[in-house]
Amino acid sequence: MLIIGSHLSSSKGFLHMRKEAVRIGANTFQFFTRNPRGSKAKKLDENDVKAFLEFARKGQIPVVLAHAPYTLNPCSKEEKTREFARLTLEDDLRRMEYLPGNLYNFHPGSHTGQGVEKGILLITELLNEIMWPGQQTTVLLETMAGKGTEVGGRFEELRRILDGVRLPEKMGVCLDTCHVYDAGYDIVHHLDEVLEEFDRIIGLEKLKAVHINDSKNPFGSHKDRHEKIGEGSIGLEAFARIVSHPALCHLPFYLETPNELEGYAKEIALLRKFG
């Protein structure tokens, strides 16, 4: 059975997200660890987390994906900005230990003019400072659209981050369909070739999750504007191939499309026909 869900608001806690997930036909979900613009995190409600873990253990929600605030920039040229990213990611990872065995995704960041080399170096240094051997969370690098000075628009860049960290076994990649298509990987006409390239450069065993979004913009546009499934430049037929592809179909899929719950429910039902 396809493992699929959507992004949900975490403001009412884990039990509430679980309820919403079940209501829309999802068996996983993604949530922001805190306000997506990166403010202070609310204290975790331990009873809420405990009750949620009971359900998770029964297999109803096999895995969840936490998403770091998207405004963090771990490879900014400003030290203050990098420091804020480090403190936030570090705090999130500690909090994730209350939900052992799940996934934590972040955007590698933008090098803000320092060059890709320097950006990659800053990201790996930061990861080496905050990750520890006993950590139970898998940290994912998200594939990016390559907008502006974004790092992670090429598989090679993600590979080099993984090569630079001391605990690569605790890391993986989250493939965002809108981002890779915008970045110039043609998953519409050449899905097999793109996945072969991913395997050659990063290794498919490193792929741990998929963000499933259509794109408002054409192939290679480096824009990063998500669209509803089937209403953008990627199109429904390509998504049918993506969710049923033998290299992908076992992974958890997360919708980040411009939708309310009802729209997510429709997309999940639609995609389940192909998966």
Q: CB 178 → Zn ion: shortest distance, Å?
A: 6
**Residues with catalytic annotation?**
37, 67, 70, 107, 142, 176, 179, 211, 224, 226, 256
Q: Alpha-carbon distance 115 to 45, whole Å?
A: 42
**Spatial CA neighbour of 104 closest among 78, 130, 75:** 130
Q: CB 175 → Zn ion: shortest distance, Å?
A: 12
The CB-nearest residue to Zn ion is 224
**Spatial CA neighbour of 187 closest among 211, 167, 203:** 211
211 binds Fe ion (CB under 5 A): yes
Q: CB 256 → Fe ion: shortest distance, Å?
A: 5
Nearer to Fe ion, 116 or 255 (CB): 255
Q: For Fe ion, which stretch binds (CB under 5 A), given 91-99, 141-149, 153-161, 263-271?
A: 141-149
176 binds Fe ion (CB under 5 A): yes
Q: For Fe ion, which stretch binds (CB under 5 A), given 6-14, 58-66, 83-91, 140-148?
A: 140-148
| Tokens 């080399």, residue located | 117
Nearer to Fe ion, 71 or 244 (CB): 71
Q: Which does 224 bind (CB under 5 to 8 A by kind): Fe ion, Zn ion, none?
A: Zn ion
Q: Alpha-carbon distance 234 to 182, whole Å?
A: 10
216 binds Fe ion (CB under 5 A): no
Q: CB 52 → Zn ion: shortest distance, Å?
A: 27
Backbone angles phi, psi at 3, to 5 degrees: -95, 105
In the chain, the largest separation of any two C-alpha atoms, in whole Å, equals 48
Binding track, positions 223-242, relative to Fe ion; x by CB under 5 A:
--------------------
Nearer to Zn ion, 145 or 161 (CB): 145
Nearer to Fe ion, 176 or 182 (CB): 176
Q: Which does 211 bind (CB under 5 to 8 A by kind): Fe ion, Zn ion, none?
A: Fe ion
Q: Alpha-carbon distance 63 to 103, whole Å?
A: 8
Nearer to Zn ion, 13 or 74 (CB): 74
What residues make contact with Fe ion under the rule CB under 5 A?
Answer: 142, 176, 211
